[in-house]
Structure 1
Amino acid sequence: MTINTLKDVYIDQLQDLYSACEQSKIVTAELKDAASNARLKEALDAGVKGIEDGMETLEKLIKGHDADPEGEHCKGMEGLVNEARAHGLEEDFGDSDAQDAMIITQYHRMAHYAIAGYGCCAAFATQLGLPGDTEALKKCLDASYDGDRTMTQIAENQVNDAAA
Structure 2
Amino acid sequence: MTQSGSGQSSGQSSDGMSMKMTDLQDLYVEQLQDVYSAEQQLTQALQQMAQAASDPQLSQAFQMHLQQTQQHIQRLQQIFQDLGQQPGGKTCKAMQGIVAEGQETIKEKATPAVRDAALIAAAQRAEHYEISAYGTLRTYAEILGRQQDVDLLRSTEDEEKATDQKLTGLARGINMEAMNQ
Query: Is residue 2:25 matched to residue 1:7?
Result: yes
Matches within 5 A, 1:111-122: 111-122=127-138
1:21-58 C-alpha deviation (Å, 9 max, x unpaired): 00011111101100010110110101101111101001
User: Where does residue 150 of structure 2 map in the other structure?
Assistant: 134
User: Where does residue 37 of structure 1 map in the other structure?
Assistant: 55
**Counterpart secondary structure, 2:116:** helix
Amino acid at match of 2:143: Q
Higher relative contact order (CA 8 A, sep 6+): 1
User: Where does residue 151 of structure 1 map in the other structure?
Assistant: 167
Provide structure 1 residue ranges, at least 5 long, that are not aligned to the other structure.
Answer: none
TM-score, normalised via structure 2 length: 0.87
CA RMSD of aligned residues (A): 0.8
| Higher CA-based Rg | 2
**Counterpart secondary structure, 2:91:** coil
Match of 1:18 among 36, 39, 45: 36
User: Where does residue 107 of structure 2 map in the other structure?
Assistant: 90
TM-score, normalised via structure 1 length: 0.96
**Counterpart secondary structure, 2:63:** helix
Amino acid at match of 2:84: D
Provide structure 2 residue ranges, at least 5 long, that are not aligned to the other structure.
Answer: 1-10, 12-19
Whole-Å separation in 2 of the counterparts to 1:109 and 1:82:
12
Matches within 5 A, 1:48-67: 48-67=66-85
**Counterpart secondary structure, 2:50:** helix
**Counterpart secondary structure, 1:32:** helix
User: Where does residue 86 of structure 2 map in the other structure?
Assistant: 68
The 4+ residue runs of structure 1 with deviation greater than 3 A are: none
Whole-Å separation in 2 of the counterparts to 1:25 and 1:148:
16
Identity of aligned pairs, percent? Answer: 29
Whole-Å separation in 1 of the counterparts to 2:72 and 2:80:
12
Match of 1:123 among 139, 143, 148: 139
Q: CA deviation at 1:71?
A: 2.1
Considering fraction of residues, name the structure with more helix: 1
Aligned residue pairs: how many? 161
